Amino acid sequence: MKPKMVIGNWKMNKSFEEADDLIIAIGEQIAGLKLETGVVLCPPFIYLELATDQAEEADFSTGAQNCSEYKNGAVTGEISAEMLAKLGVEFCIVGHSERRKFFCESNQTIAKKADLLLENQLVPVVCCGEVIDERKANRHFEVVEKQIKESLFHLSKEDFESVVIAYEPVWAIGTGETATPEQAEEMHAFIRQLIEKKYGTEIAYSTYILYGGSCNAQNALELFSQPNVDGGLIGGASLKANDFVAIIEAAETTVKEN
């Protein structure tokens, strides 16, 4: 089993002081653990430098929650992939369901962002997932397949190798309702098959497919024990150091026990 990856998506939370404290607390708590698990903190843009400064000494990497679909220039309010790269940011979440919903992001926009991130040697963490009505109508596989194909399958093999996928059923995000381990595993296995058909077995196996949606310290071990769940994208539970580190420890346990 390959090492897991745990990414914390802070969304639009924390004051400057709270962000600083949380980054330091997580860094201190994981310092002695000799982790195999990859840990990534994704605070809001304006706290990224706090995280990249600490990341040099600590056992975590830094990610942004979004980037512009444009390269540079007259695009007021945007942050480019190149700016993130120059700051030492290594990962960037794209296509989160909240951005699809509130900012009308399409699969095509997500594809442009993934391209710019890859051009700048950042890892795109591309989110996919169905809303509750799509699951009830048994359309969840079809929806996720379309999201992945339209946002990622234009990539070369070499570029695709750097991509991380996060399956986040929208009905589970921030709701306290988690997908069952079986539901998560079923979708992750489906996504891996899609990748295998397009890019071959080796890349399918090495691609990280993370689960996100009300993952917490209590349910992480069971979710991460599924063979096709390579870790988690964590929202609410990444805002407290103890909870987030407990999830990282769950990820670590699943690998060490196998």
Binding region for ligand PEP (CB under 6 A): 9, 168, 173-174, 212-215, 233-237
Least CB distance from residue 32 to ligand PEP, whole Å? 26
* CA dist., res. 74 & res. 198, Å (int): 37
Least CB distance from residue 57 to ligand PEP, whole Å? 27
154 is catalytic: no
CB 212 within 8 A of CB 188: no
Nearer Cβ to ligand PEP (92/237): 237
- 96, 98, 105, 185: the catalytic one is 96
- 69, 130, 168, 185: the catalytic one is 168
Contacts of 26 (CB under 8 A, 6+ apart): 8, 39, 41, 58, 60, 241, 244, 245
Nearer Cβ to ligand PEP (67/215): 215
Least CB distance from residue 238 to ligand PEP, whole Å? 7
134 phi-psi bin (left φ>0, alpha ψ -120 to 50, beta other): alpha
CB 159 within 8 A of CB 117: no
Least CB distance from residue 235 to ligand PEP, whole Å? 2
Nearer Cβ to ligand PEP (6/155): 6
Q: How far is CA 209 from the centre of its chain?
A: 9
Nearer Cβ to ligand PEP (96/192): 96
168 is catalytic: yes
Contacts of 90 (CB under 8 A, 6+ apart): 40, 61, 62, 63, 122, 123
Catalytic residues: 96, 168
